[in-house]
Structure 1
Amino acid sequence: MALALVPIHPHVSSANLALILVVVVVAVATLGSRTAGVLAALSAAAWFARGAAAI
């Protein structure tokens, strides 16, 4: 999911990108298992941190 947000990153604030990632993580955790939610959360955090470091 985070990789799909890369093209719009220069045009959208980091807060909005974080909100999008939170919505995706909540959706995965709601629709999937606890393991899927944890993996989605860890993946989103890693990709967000990597994107923030690139700025």
Structure 2
Amino acid sequence: MNPILLEVPTALNTERLLLRMPLAGDEKVVNEQLQEVNCDVLNCFPISNPFLL
């Protein structure tokens, strides 16, 4: 069997986690989540803000 032709799952699902390849249309949700995380990180760790250094 040629290992290049093996079927690899495109997503891994558990009860609390979904890992999958990015799809078209994901960019808005991903950007919103990154902005939310960045605000949390900046509030907890002000040193992580490059504009304050």
Q: What TM-score, normalized to structure 2?
A: 0.45
Task: Point out the structure with the larger strand share.
Answer: 2
The structure number with the bigger radius of gyration is 2
Bigger RCO (CA 8 Å, 6+ sep) = 1
More helix by share: 1
